[in-house]
Structure 1
Amino acid sequence: MRIENSFIPVEGVGETTERRLWGRGVTTWEAFDPAVDVAGVGSTTADRIDSFIAEALTRLDDGDSAYFDRAFPSGERWRLYKNFREETCFFDIETTGLDERRDRVTTVSFHQGGETTTLVAGEDLTARRLREQFADASLLATFNGARFDVPFLETSFDVDIDTPHLDLMYPAKRIGLSGGLKPIEKELGIDRDRPDISGRDAVRLWREYERGDEAALETLVSYNREDTVNLRALADAVCEALDDEVFVAAPDGDGD
C-alpha cells in the first residue's frame, strides 16, 4: 500500500469513508472524482479531498515525508513505508542498562540503502556522527524505539531526533505479533546468522571489551548489526500483512 492509496489524512474522512471510496474503485488519488457518489463524501468533503490531493502530490514529488507524518494518524504511519523504503534508516542501540540518565550507549547500528554502519562508544559514537547518520533518512524504523532507543540517544547525546519514526512494535501488535523482536522474527521465519543474545549478554560483552577482549566487541557489534538488518525484513513483512488486511480486503464491505 502506498501513500497515494490513502484518503484518511483529509478532514472528515475516516476509515469507513475511505473504505467506501475504495469499494467504488477510487483506490488512488488519480481515480478520485468530486462527483463520485459515496456515502459520507458530500461536496465539502470532496473539495477537501481535492485540495489535499493537490498539496500531497507536490509534497510527494518533493519527498517530504514530514508532511505525511503530520497528516496521517499515528497508527497509520506504516502507510509511508513503501514510498520511503529506500530512504528508511533502520537503527538499534545497545546500552549498559535501561536508565538513559545513568547508563550509557555502547553501540548504535544503522541500516539504510543496503549498507550497515555501526558506531562504537569511545571510538566514533558522537552527536555529530549520529546527526550525520540520520540526515539522509526520510523515515526511521525501530522496534520499541519510541520508548527506548530515541529518548536514550536524545538524552545521552543532546540531539533532537525529529525524522518521522515508524516504531514497528505497534503495527506488529496490530497483526497479532506481540512480545520481543526475536520471538516475532522466529514467528515470521526471519533467520539470524548468530545465536540470540540477551540484553544482559550485551552488557557482559561490553564489560569484557572494556577489559581488553576485542572478540567480545566483535560479537556485540555483529549482534547489533543483525538487529538492524532484520528490522528491514520485519518492516517488509508487517507492512505487507497490513496492506492485505486494510487495503486489499477493503472493497468487501464498509467495515469500521
Structure 2
Amino acid sequence: MRIENSFIPVRGVGETTERRLWENGITHWDEFDGSVVGSTLADRIETFIDDGRTHLERGDISVFADALPAASRWRCYENVSDETCFLDIETTGLDASCDDVTTVSLHRGSETKTFVKGRDLTANRLERELAESALLVTFNGQRFDVPFLETCFDVDVDVPHVDLMYPCKKIGLDGGLKAIERELGIDRDRPDLSGRDAVRLWREYERGDEGSLETLVEYNRADTRNMEPLLEIVADRLHESVFEAATAGD
C-alpha cells in the first residue's frame, strides 16, 4: 500500500470515510472526483492531493507521517523503502539521564552499520546517517530509542518515524521484538540473548573482553536487520485486512 492510496491524513477523513471512498472505487488519488463526500470535504481532499504530490516529488513524507495515526504510518514504507533506516540501540540501563548508549545499529538497503561508544558513536555521525534516511523504523523506539538518543547526544531526531510496536498490536502481535520474531518464524543466530545480556556484555567489554563486544554488536545488528522482514510481513497483513478487504468487490 502506498501513500497515494490514503485519505485519512486529510482533516475530517477518518477510517470510516476512507473505507467508503475505497468501496466506491476511489482507491487512489488519481481516482478522486469529488463524489461520495460533501463539497467542503471534497475541496479539502483535492487540496491535500495537490500538496501531497508536491511533497512526494520532493521525497518528503514527513507531512504524511505526522498526519497518520502511529498504527497507520506503515503506509509510508512502500514509497521510500530504499531510503528507510531500521534503527536499534543498546544501553547500560533504562534512564537516559544517567545511563549511556553503548551501540547503535542502522540497517538501510543491504548495509548494516554499527557505532560503538568510545569509538565512532558521536552526535555528528548519527545526524549524518539520519539525514540520509527518508523514514526511520524502530521497535518501541518512540518511547525508548529516540528519546534516549536525543537526551544522550543532544540531537533532534525529526525523521518520519514508524514504531513497529503499534502496527504489530493492530494485527494482534503483542510482546517484545524477539517474541514476535519467534511467532512469525524470523530467525536470529542468538535467540537466547536479551537486553539484560546486552548490559552484561558491555560491562565485560569494559573489563577487556573484546569477544563480548563482538557478541553485543551482532545482537544489536540482528535487531535492526530483523525489523525489515517484520515490517514487510506486518505491512502485507495490514494491506490485506485494511485495503484489500475494502476493495474486494471492485
TM-score computed with the length of structure 1 as normaliser: 0.94
Percent of aligned pairs with the same amino acid: 66
**Matched residue, 2:96:** 100
Partner residue of 1:63 out of 53, 59, 62 = 59
Counterparts of 1:183 and 1:18, CA distance in 2: 33
Counterparts of 2:203 and 2:170, CA distance in 1: 37
Please tell me the residue identity of whatever aligns with 1:10. V
Aligned length: 249
1:22-70 deviation per Cα after TM superposition (whole angstroms, max 9, x unaligned): 1111110111112x3x2xx011211211111111111111111112122
TM-score computed with the length of structure 2 as normaliser: 0.96
**Matched residue, 2:74:** 78
2:130 is equivalent to residue 134 of structure 1: yes
Tell me the SS of whatever aligns to 1:234: helix
**Matched residue, 2:20:** 20
Q: Which sits farther off after the overlay, 196-205 or 180-189?
A: 196-205
Counterparts of 2:186 and 2:71, CA distance in 1: 24
2:128 is equivalent to residue 115 of structure 1: no
Tell me the SS of whatever aligns to 2:78: coil
- Equivalence map 1:169-248=2 (5 Å): 169-248=165-244
Counterparts of 1:196 and 1:232, CA distance in 2: 21
Which sections of structure 2, spanning at least 5 residues, go unmatched? none
Deviation at 1:103, TM superposition (A): 1.0
Partner residue of 1:165 out of 161, 166, 186 = 161
Please tell me the residue identity of whatever aligns with 1:144. N
1:210-248 deviation per Cα after TM superposition (whole angstroms, max 9, x unaligned): 111111110100110011000111111111111111100
- On the 8 A contact 2:2/2:75 being kept in 1, the answer is yes
What root-mean-square deviation, in Å, do the aligned CA atoms of Structure 1 and Structure 2 show? 1.3
Which sections of structure 1, spanning at least 5 residues, go unmatched? none
Tell me the SS of whatever aligns to 1:249: helix
- On the 8 A contact 2:70/2:167 being kept in 1, the answer is no
Counterparts of 1:199 and 1:17, CA distance in 2: 42
1:58-105 deviation per Cα after TM superposition (whole angstroms, max 9, x unaligned): 111111111212232333211111112111110101111111111111
Please tell me the residue identity of whatever aligns with 1:16. T
Counterparts of 1:5 and 1:74, CA distance in 2: 17
